[in-house]
Amino acid sequence: PALDAMLNLDDFEKTAQKVISAKGWAYYYSASDDLVTKVYNNEVYRKVLLRPRIFKDVETVSTVSKIQGLVTTLPLFVSPAAMARLAHPSGEKGIAHACGSEGIVQMISNNASMKFEDIVSDPIVSTQKFFYQLYVQNDRKISENVLSKVIATGRCHAIVLTLDAPTPGKREADERVANDGKTFSENSGGIAKTETSEGLGRALFAGTSARLLWDDLHWLRKQIPADMPIILKGLQTYEDALIAATQWAPKGLVHGILLSNHGGRAMDQSQPPLMILQEIRKYAPEVFSSIEVYVDGGIRRGTDVVKALCLGAKQVGIGRAALYGLAGYGEQGVQRTIQILREEIETCMRLLGVNSVEELGPQHVNTRQLDNL
């Protein structure tokens, strides 16, 4: 269908399923075990209801936001996702172009299908800043090398350290397709290749360390500039959020946390980020004033983004949605995906009676159903 016919993110997902190869689709769509968490990530947004106010001047509305000091046009970013070239030949570059035109941050995966250096050297993105996501390898030298190349470009604004996947989740759809033929292979330190007979997810994890500890943040700091923000990705409890905020933020070793269950691809039956936000609000509200808190997982509507902001998220990430946008239409599809979210966020804010993202707060939502879950 024509790009203009794509009205929402679900439309893009349907098109993506038609154009992506069976193995690519299995890898993107799949999640662990029974997909309970993947599905719940989205469905839980329906348990939070909005509380619009009347007699507000909503002629103008601004969605401008900030993430780690960078100004963005939306409280939205693209989460790190491996292997964008399975969706479209333009791969991570296509997503980068779209993020650049729309003014949002893209986090580049450690398992991207293109090197960070190549993505950022594209003249079209010459003014963009990127975040780089790291999986620490057993062989630390590999990670040190990757980081030094990334830092040398001068284009990385922050490091995102993913922590929810010390071992790959059991993604059966991915494994079934892989077993049908020789398909994928391993992460060779910053650029993923394809060619073995296991699932792509499992193959990409080969070499990833299963023994990272909080103290390893000191190691990470030594590899990157002293003032480069560090974001921990994959926190799923208020306890860990509190440790990050009270013990590691003061040392300058954590600047943000991305509450995430990896889109349901790591531990199945773990709680959705919206519930983690609620835990933090209840038991550790001081987290919000010491570090930036983000969420990702299950975002399909502007209202989802707004609800997360009302409950304390500073920005919200999309994972699969960017890949699905890319699949059928290349960078234009990703751009349109972001624009759709922009229009939906603006409409939601106007209907709520607010003019800026800073105004959004718990007063705009009814969470009684969520709290009873």
Under rule CB under 6 A, residue 82 binds ligand FNR: yes
The active-site residue, picked from 97, 255, 262, 364, is 262
In single-letter form, the type of residue at position 365 comes to: V
Under rule CB under 6 A, residue 81 binds ligand FNR: yes
Under rule CB under 6 A, residue 95 binds ligand FNR: no
Catalytic site includes residue 10: no
Contact between 208 and 165 (Cβ < 8 Å): yes
Catalytic site includes residue 262: yes
Q: How far is the CB of 264 from ligand FNR (least distance, A)?
A: 7
- Cβ proximity to ligand FNR: between 114 and 354 the closer is 114
Residue number of the CB closest to ligand FNR reads: 319
Tokens at 67, concatenated: 């993430």
Contact between 356 and 64 (Cβ < 8 Å): yes
- Residues of span 280-339 touching ligand FNR by CB under 6 A: 296-299, 318-321
* x-or-dash string of contact with ligand FNR, 155-184, rule CB under 6 A: -------x----------------------
Under rule CB under 6 A, residue 200 binds ligand FNR: no
User: Virtual CA dihedral for 38, 32, 162, 122, nearest 10 degrees?
Assistant: -80
Contacting residue, 68, 72, 111, 194, with ligand FNR by CB under 6 A? 111
In single-letter form, the type of residue at position 138 comes to: N
Q: How far is the CB of 266 from ligand FNR (least distance, A)?
A: 8
Which residues lie closer than 8 Å to 105 by C-beta, 6 or more apart? 67, 70, 72, 77, 78, 99, 129, 130, 131, 157
108: helix, coil or strand?
strand
CA atoms of 174 and 225, how far apart (whole Å)? 37
Q: How far is the CB of 135 from ligand FNR (least distance, A)?
A: 7
Catalytic site includes residue 164: yes
Backbone conformation region of residue 50, classed left if phi is above 0, alpha if psi is from -120 to 50, else beta: beta
The active-site residue, picked from 40, 132, 135, 329, is 135
- Cβ proximity to ligand FNR: between 98 and 354 the closer is 98
- What burial class does residue 332 get, using C-beta atoms within 10 Å of its C-beta: 0-12 exposed, 13-18 middle, 19+ buried? middle
129: helix, coil or strand?
coil
Binding site for ligand FNR (CB under 6 A): 27-28, 41, 79-82, 109-111, 133, 162, 233, 260, 262-263, 265, 296-299, 318-321
> Which residues does the annotation mark as catalytic?
135, 164, 262
